[in-house]
């Protein structure tokens, strides 16, 4: 219960910003969605569950791939995130997608319901990844596939470190326990894979995916986007106006290294961890 409240406290404040920046986020993480779809072998007529969908991704991008005979379901514990996902589905006129408020380890869904269960940048935040994994396998059909995308190391991802390295020069970096819910909890190759195996998945695999995060935004807009999307916005709120202006100058210089003139382009690395539910 305490862990659930911590999740709600951490993510409630982010919902409006993830909704505000949804188009840019969809564009930046599009290659990750493609990687997930390929690994999960998603196709026409399938039923797909998206765990920790936030304001609706990758669920909304998967809807056209399953077609009108398929079905997509997204869950997230933050009511404001789910409201944003439902609004977007309505705006797009999508009929075969539903979103519900739920935690990954307490799914309000029948067993053996889905051909595939996916999650983009969610698993690292679950209080009990093994509990969530067992619950996910429960709702997966025998023979169905699970696919999770998690960040590789921060140093390999300027999306994170171009800004956090500058902030760390102004404020002590937070101390994070190795297994605490955090963005880089599963950065070490093999760590999430082991949990997937322990939960009982068959055919468990991991692959490193290298790609480019690209967004048609200015350096200044990227700075705003990254602050609003992350906990950095709370961290730097304690700085004086002068220190903040100094930090921003340095941050814009650091981000500027990835400016193409028409947008931002950064190398990026994620781990795609997958498995299946055995057919007995
Ligand atoms: C980084 S966001 C990813 C959102 C979306 N999947 C995307 O890629 O755009 C992480 C999401 O995980 C959700 N989350 C955190 N803890 C969770 C849990 N225990 N069960 C399900 N979702 C959770 C948060 O509410 C948040 O929406």
pLDDT digits (tens, 9 = 90+) for 49-82: 999 999 999 999 999 999 999 999 999 999 999 9
Write down the pLDDT at residue 7.
Answer: 87
Spatial distance between the Cα atoms of 208 and 189, rounded to a whole number of angstroms: 8
Per-residue pLDDT of 197-241, as tens digits, reads 999 999 999 999 999 999 999 999 999 999 999 888 889 999 999
Q: Environment class of residue 189 by beta-carbon count within 10 Å: exposed (0-12), middle (13-18) or buried (19+)?
A: middle
For residue 122, report the distance from its CA to the centre of ligand 1, in Å. 4
Judged by DSSP in three states, 218 sits in coil
| Alpha carbon distances (Å) from 193 to 146, 189, 271 | 12, 8, 10
pLDDT recorded at residue 174: 87
Of residues 29 and 178, more confidence is placed in: 29
* Residues 147, 112: Cα–Cα separation, whole Å: 16
Question: In this predicted structure, what is the pLDDT of residue 104?
Answer: 98
CB 32 within 8 A of CB 120: yes
Q: If you measure from the C-alpha of residue 54 to the centroid of ligand 1, how many angstroms do you get, rounded to a whole number?
A: 5
Percent of the chain with pLDDT over 70: 100
**Is-contact 125 7, C-beta < 8 A?**
yes
- ∠ Cα 142 35 26 (to 5°): 115
| Closest-lying ligand 1 atom to the alpha carbon of residue 183 | 1
Q: What is the Cβ-side half-sphere exposure of residue 31, based on CA atoms within 13 angstroms?
A: 16
Please give the structure tokens belonging to residue 84: 């944003």
- pLDDT for 191: 98
Identify the CA nearest to 51 among candidates 112, 140, 111.
140
Model confidence at 1, pLDDT cuts 50, 70, 90, reads low
Confidence of residue 253 (pLDDT cuts 50, 70, 90): very high
Measure 51 CA to ligand 1 centroid, in angstroms: 7
pTM: 0.96
Average pLDDT over residues 126-132: 97
Distance between CA atoms of 66 and 51, rounded to whole angstroms?
17
The residue to mutate among 3, 17, 55, 125, having the most atoms of ligand 1 within 8 angstroms of its beta carbon, is 125
Ramachandran angles phi, psi of 148, nearest 5°: -125, 135
Q: Is 235 in the pocket of ligand 1 (CB under 6 A)?
A: no
Q: How confident is the model at residue 6 (pLDDT cuts 50, 70, 90)?
A: confident
Probe target for ligand 1 pocket from 76, 88, 185, with the most ligand atoms within 8 Å of CB = 76
């Amino acid at each position: 219960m305490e862990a659930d409240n911590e999740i709600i406290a951490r993510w409630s404040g982010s919902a409006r910003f993830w909704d505000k920046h949804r188009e840019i986020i969809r564009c930046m993480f599009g290659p990750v969605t493609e990687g997930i779809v390929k690994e999960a072998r998603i196709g026409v007529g399938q039923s797909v569950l998206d765990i920790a969908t936030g304001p609706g991704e990758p669920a909304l991008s998967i809807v056209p791939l399953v077609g009108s005979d398929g079905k997509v379901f997204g869950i997230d514990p933050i009511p404001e995130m789910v409201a944003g996902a439902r609004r977007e589905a309505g705006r797009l006129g999508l009929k075969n997608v539903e979103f519900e408020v739920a935690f990954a380890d307490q799914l309000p869904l029948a067993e053996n319901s889905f051909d595939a269960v996916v999650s983009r940048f969610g698993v690292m935040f679950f209080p009990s990844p093994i509990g969530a994994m067992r619950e996910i396998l429960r709702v997966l059909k025998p023979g169905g596939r699970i696919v999770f995308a998690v960040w590789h190391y921060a140093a390999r991802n300027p999306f994170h470190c171009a800004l956090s390295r500058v902030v760390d020069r102004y404020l002590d970096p937070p101390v994070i326990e190795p297994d605490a819910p955090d963005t880089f909890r599963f950065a070490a190759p093999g760590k999430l894979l082991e949990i997937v195996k322990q939960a009982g998945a068959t055919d468990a695999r991991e692959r490193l995916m290298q790609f480019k995060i690209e967004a048609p935004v200015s350096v200044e807009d990227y700075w705003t986007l990254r602050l609003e999307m992350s906990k950095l916005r709370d961290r730097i709120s304690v700085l004086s106006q002068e220190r903040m202006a100094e930090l921003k100058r340095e941050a814009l210089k650091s981000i500027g290294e990835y400016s193409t003139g028409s947008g931002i382009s950064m190398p990026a690395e994620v781990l795609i961890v997958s498995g299946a539910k055995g057919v007995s």
